Structure 1
Amino acid sequence: MKHEIVSRAEWLEASRALLAEEKAWTHERDRISAKRRALPWVRLDKDYVFEGADGPVTLAELFDGRSQLIVYHFMFASEWQEGCTGCSFLSDQVDGARQHFEHKDVSWVAVSRAPITKLEAYRKRMGWSFRWVSSAASDFNFDFHVSFTEEQRRNGIFYNFADQPDPEIDELPGASVFALGEDGAIYHTYSSYARGNETTLPAYGWIDMVPKGRDEGAGGNLSDWVKRHDNYPDDGRTREIAAAGAG
């Protein structure tokens, strides 16, 4: 994209016009967020048990003493050797935020179908400290429509609140929110899939500010550029940043 070069006064005029639209978008986002929080709830009728690093753990125990729980459906099938690249990109941005929202009565956990040994090895490689559990022995992923059997794929899947054709993959991303009621019951309050989770990606917020933007090619795919953070080529700047931080 070529940009017109203008005076400071002309730039201010254009920026003020954009600011008016940005404010309108912010107010619309607030309105939608309020509707999200006001959704009706569904009481869970299953007792889900996961495998954690220290053994079996129930969904109720994942609340960790808090009343609200965010589950990130991390794409990591049993036969995979690495977690999904896009899910890894999102997860890179969790631990810094987690220390704050845990003080707002919110717990966060990643759930995947891969065995706990694979999850723990990959988490160690990535340097993450959030909780991660395996749902390999439960129907959790299937009940929340982020994992699919071969039969489901042949007949078309249900994902993002709609019937869809075979995605040609067994796993898709999502996030689900749960509340622990005063009666001890667990309620499903919200789920988000596909691009619905972009609001949890602060890296996108920064990238969207710069002239080149996401620069994701004609298809607009995250996979066009993002890599696991230990797979980016070292162009020398990584070492410079590390050295500056050490100083």
Structure 2
Amino acid sequence: MEHSVVSREEWLEARRALLVKEKEMTRMRDRVNAARLALPWVKVDKDYVFDTPAGARALADLFDGRSQLVVYHFMFGPDWEAGCPGCSFLADHLDGAIVHLNNHDVSFVCVSRAPLDKIEAYKRRMGWQFPWVSSFGSDFNFDYHVSFTREDLAAGPVFYNFRETPPEQAHDELPGLSSFCRDTDGTVFHTYSNYARGGEEMLGTMMILDCAPLGRNEGSTMDFVKRHDEYETRPKAAACCH
């Protein structure tokens, strides 16, 4: 992108115009957040069992004594050798947040269909500490519309991101986030889910890049992202055009 070079006074005028739009976006985010909190809840009637380092655990157990649970649906299929690079990029942002979430009565866990031994091996490779469990053998991923069988994909559109999605735009595993609340009597409710780019604001790196001179500098969404141990030692330099 070509950029003009102007005086400080002209820059300040342009920056103030942008500030108006940024404030509009902030107020819109506040309104969207309020609408999210006002969503109705759905009681979770099915008994889901997860394979965890501490043994088999129910969905209610994943709350770990707290009243709220946020699940990130991490793309890692049973026959995959490694987790999704995009999900891994998001996971790099999690460890520092866990203590703050826990202190705010929120538990956070990643869930994948890969067997637990694969999850644990990949977690060690990446150096992560956050909770991560396996839903292998469970309907959980299918019921929350982030996993699809070959038969599902061959049959036509699949239900993803709250709409029918053509199979060529789908995959056997797709990303998402789901939130749950646990009542004092142990009843669990599904309160919220988002998919596709819905969780983008969890990506702190992207928010910083949005403030960098060249922004995200991508051809397609996150096309530059690799697992953090797969980047070149010396990144290629990009010229700032003006």
TM-score, reference length from structure 1: 0.92
Which runs of structure 1 show a deviation greater than 2 angstroms over 4 or more consecutive aligned residues? none
- Between the aligned partners of 2:71 and 2:52, the Cα distance in structure 1 is 14
| Map of 2:166 onto structure 1 | 165
Confirm whether residue 34 of structure 1 aligns to residue 34 of structure 2: yes
Q: Which runs of 5+ in 2 are unaligned?
A: 236-242
Any idea what SS the aligned residue of 1:72 has? strand
Confirm whether residue 229 of structure 1 aligns to residue 228 of structure 2: yes
Paired residues, number = 234
Cα deviation 1:78-123 (Å, max 9, x = unaligned)? 0000000000000000111111111111100000000000000000
- Between the aligned partners of 1:168 and 1:195, the Cα distance in structure 2 is 14
| Map of 1:124 onto structure 2 | 124
Cα deviation 1:36-81 (Å, max 9, x = unaligned)? 0110000011111100112111111100111000000000000000
Any idea what SS the aligned residue of 1:13 has? helix
Any idea what SS the aligned residue of 2:107 has? strand
Offset at residue 3 of structure 1 (A): 1.0
- Between the aligned partners of 2:192 and 2:95, the Cα distance in structure 1 is 22
Q: How does 1:26-65 map to 2 (within 5 A)?
A: 26-65=26-65
Cα deviation 1:127-151 (Å, max 9, x = unaligned)? 1101110000210000000000122
TM-score, reference length from structure 2: 0.94
Counterpart of 1:14 in structure 2: which amino acid? A
| Map of 1:179 onto structure 2 | 181
Any idea what SS the aligned residue of 1:129 has? coil
Counterpart of 2:149 in structure 1: which amino acid? T
**For the Cα contact (< 8 Å) 2:158–2:170, is it kept in 1?**
no
Counterpart of 2:234 in structure 1: which amino acid? D
**Relative to structure 2, which stretch is displaced further, 147-156 or 18-27?**
147-156
Q: How does 1:107-146 map to 2 (within 5 A)?
A: 107-146=107-146
Any idea what SS the aligned residue of 1:138 has? coil
- Between the aligned partners of 1:235 and 1:211, the Cα distance in structure 2 is 20
- Between the aligned partners of 2:31 and 2:54, the Cα distance in structure 1 is 41
Q: Which runs of 5+ in 1 are unaligned?
A: 237-247
